[in-house]
Amino acid sequence: MDRDTRDMLLETAGRFFTERCGRAVVNEVEKGVWPADLWKEIEEMGLPLIAVPEDKGGAGGTLSDMLSLLRVAGSHAVPVPLAETALANLLIAACGEEPKPGPATLALGSLSLAGGRLTGKVERVPFATVADRFVTVVGNKLAVVSAGNATVEGKPSHAGEPYGTVTFENAVVDFSATSPVSAERAVELAAAMRAMQMAGAADKILATTVEYSKQRVQFGRPISTFQAIQHMLAELASHAAAIIASAETAARDADEGGLADGGRFSIAAAKCQGSDFAQRVAAIAHQSMGAMGFTHEHILHHYTRRLWVWRRDFGSETFWGDKIGAAYAKAGPDALWPSLSASRYAA
């Protein structure tokens, strides 16, 4: 979609999330309440189909459009599998199939696919207990399995979202096809998805912390005027800026380079950067806000706890750091500076 259309969509989505994804809704999801009305409205807006071609029932957007939407969703702690469903639908559409409605999630791990049946176990699957279907890539084959053909053991994430372990025991596959996206690439795209959500959350944390520091008065003046707080806010801002810049670069490079392998280095760098800074961003924000930041009544924990969870999803900073190091070691010393200065496709 063109820039004006995308900007209008993102603005509309932002207003919608502000109105419909308030503190009460997020807290209810963490108590195990599925927000059926919220999900219905999200589907009616066509958001899970943003990157699906129009001839497959979608909005005809690009990978970059989808990732930009997920940054907005991350800044509102949207407590439904919009990100997972949007990427799952994109992978399905890339195989020539029209995605079905309903929430989906990604079960990416060591699985085997033979004779139209899927076998294996994947831990920490996001929204596993509420998904209608699981989408995975094994080798160069995409497989879709309905929830009824899998065994799910629910284990909420640290953010209270319905994660779980999914076991496929010779599970019948609803749809399977050769995919232009490999299993390794599916993990990269999922990492890019999380990097953009982390960028949105980091931006929200920074804005929330700065606003609180301006309003909180101690010893007769706002705490934002104290040098110690100013130093913490400056460090928080620098970390948030690094997370956002690396995620936006990954989104751009992935889109320009193509679904199959675009922006591989940028994605690895963005997820490594975001995961590495996640804990520091959360720590500074809570320290700056003091006791109020640790209360359940304040919204800060909706974002900091998600950063902690997203840090590990689809590869931690250690996982992606190892990938980057191995790629440079294989390429040799002459490849280091050109790939860094180009910031594209090095790995």
Sorted by where each starts, the structural domains of the chain and their CATH numbers stand as: 3-178 (1.10.540.10), 183-342 (1.20.140.10)
Q: Which of 63-77, 170-184, 187-201, 322-336 has the lowest mean pLDDT?
A: 322-336
What's the rounded Cα separation, in Å, for the pair 262 and 273?
18
What pTM did the predictor assign? 0.94
Query: Can you list the alpha helix ranges (DSSP code H) found in 293-332?
Result: 300-312, 317-331
Q: With contact defined as beta carbons under 8 Å apart, do 72 and 260 qualify?
A: no
Measured CA to CA in angstroms, residue 199 lies from 129, 190, 206, 224 at distances of 26, 14, 11, 23
What's the rounded Cα separation, in Å, for the pair 306 and 205?
11
- 70-114 residue pLDDT tens: 999 999 999 999 999 999 999 999 999 999 999 999 999 999 999
- 15-41 residue pLDDT tens: 999 999 999 999 999 999 999 999 999
Q: Which of 205-214, 215-224, 226-235 has the lowest mean pLDDT?
A: 215-224
Answer with the residue of higher pLDDT: 3 or 60.
Answer: 60
Which range, 206-210, 297-301, 332-336, has the best average confidence (pLDDT)? 206-210
How big is the chain by its Cα radius of gyration, in Å? 20
Side by side, the strands of the sheet bearing 175-178 are 104-106, 133-138, 141-146, 175-178
Cα dihedral value 51, 54, 59, 62, nearest 10: 30
CA 170 to chain centre: 29
> Which of 115, 137, 117, 134 has the alpha carbon at shortest distance from 126?
134
Mark residue 274 as left, alpha or beta (left: phi above 0; alpha: psi -120 to 50; beta: remaining). alpha
Answer with the residue of higher pLDDT: 225 or 54.
Answer: 54
Asked if pLDDT for residue 170 goes beyond 80, the answer is: yes
Residue 302: φ, ψ to 5°:
-60, -30
Query: Where residue 346 falls among pLDDT bands split at 50, 70, 90?
Result: very low
Asked if pLDDT for residue 141 goes beyond 50, the answer is: yes
Percentage, residues of the chain above pLDDT 90? 86
Average pLDDT over residues 143-167: 97
For residue 291, what are the contacts with CB-CB under 8 A and spacing of at least 6? none
CA angle in degrees (0–180, nearest 5) for 237-65-141: 110
Measured CA to CA in angstroms, residue 67 lies from 86, 215, 221, 270 at distances of 9, 33, 41, 13
